[in-house]
Amino acid sequence: MLRSKAYVRKTRRGKVLKIVREHYLRTDIWCGCPSCKLCDTSDALFEPSADEYVVLDTNVVLHQMDMLENHAITDVIVPSVVREEVKHRNISVYNRLRALCADKTKRFYVFANEYHEETYTERSPNESPNDRNDRAIRTCALWYQKHLPHIKLVLVTNDKANMNKALEAGLKAQTAIVFAQSRSSQPQLLDLVARPQNEEDSDEEDQLDSRPQKRQAIYREHLPLSELERGIREGRFHQGTLRTNRHDPSKASVASESVGQAIQIKDHIDMNRTVDGDRVVLELLPEDQWGAEAATLREGDGDEGEEEEPEAGLAPAPAEEGHGVGVG
């Protein structure tokens, strides 16, 4: 099928040119599903046992690439309109997306929706390019939902308007953080989701990309050096070297002489932008927020000896926990 668009343009020398642009639409662009009975499955990319496919919006690719690169994210549909929009907006992210699509183990399938007869979306009068691209993504998702009724389909988007229109059209749509939460067997995905705000992180509305707004701080500001020194002298703060857990980089411990044992740090927020090897200053959390551990795992070179085993019959002592207030 051929779509053509003709218009006239006046040159600098006053000549009038007629320009005709032709857009060829095809019916032999396959869906990539190995169990599809309507398409050629000789080059099918998706896992035969997969029961859910993911369709990506442009804003998710631009801002959630760390999550998408995780090994747990597979069987993903990338509409060609998304790939081209990412290419024009951020060439670095575009190169990372190309690497994902080239990785056969990730199974990222680029569907040429702009050249498929049933998914091509022509721009309406007075419609912005962004709104037209969003409509093209929804049209692609709706086609897959109709084409593969036995496969669950989810559209991942952080665009509020696109989300509402997708839900009205009968699509299953989720924000990036809700999508990560739905993968309960892969809890590490939540740490990889880029959160634009620090308030009400669990609220779905806060994860929607409505319109530009002032970005709020995620981490607390470091206290000035004079206040840190005064807090250490008064015993309110404790100083030591931060060591991250080699099995879980989101957790760490700080060996402090003033406390007598390692102070545990439970997540990146409490680390407060410090990294392994930093000399940090901590403030202890209230005792009711401490976690119970039988022994403190020391992260180091292993030359300090083994931890003593707790005596039989004794309850494990609570491990003191704190959060970073500065570096010094």
| pLDDT of amino acid 258 | 84
Tokens standing for residue 262: 């390692």
Least confident residue range of 2-16, 147-161, 247-261, 272-286: 2-16
pLDDT greater than 60 at residue 10:
yes
Q: Please check the confidence at residue 219 and state whether its pLDDT lies above 60.
A: yes
Tell me 248's DSSP state.
-
pLDDT greater at residue 304 or residue 248: 248
List of residues 6+ apart from 312 with CB closer than 8 A:
none
What are all long-range contacts of 246-252, with beta carbons under 8 Å and residues at least 24 apart?
246/299, 250/191, 252/276, 252/299
What pLDDT is recorded for position 261? 81
Q: What is the pLDDT of residues 19-52, one digit of tens each?
A: 887 878 888 999 999 999 999 998 889 999 998 9
Compute the mean pLDDT over every residue in the chain, rounded to the nearest whole number. 83
Residue 156 phi, psi (nearest 5):
-100, 115
| One-character DSSP codes across 24-85 | E-BS------TT-SSS--TT--S-TT--EEEEE-HHHHHH-HHHHTSTT--SEEEEHHHHHH
Q: State whether the Cα torsion 156-169-182-268 is positive or negative.
A: positive
The percentage of the chain sitting over the pLDDT mark of 90, rounded to a whole number, equals 47
What is the number of other CB atoms lying within 10 angstroms of the CB of residue 314? 8
Token readout for 14 is 């006053």
**Mean pLDDT for the stretch of residues 78-91:** 95
Threshold 0.75, pTM exceeds: no
Residue 55 confidence (pLDDT) above 80: yes
pLDDT by residue (tens digit) across 262-293? 888 988 888 888 889 999 999 988 877 766 54
DSSP letter at 251? -
Q: Could you read off the pLDDT of 97-139 as tens digits, one per residue?
A: 999 999 999 999 999 999 999 999 988 889 999 999 999 999 9
State residue 207's pLDDT score. Answer: 53
Q: Tell me, what's the pLDDT at 296? A: 42
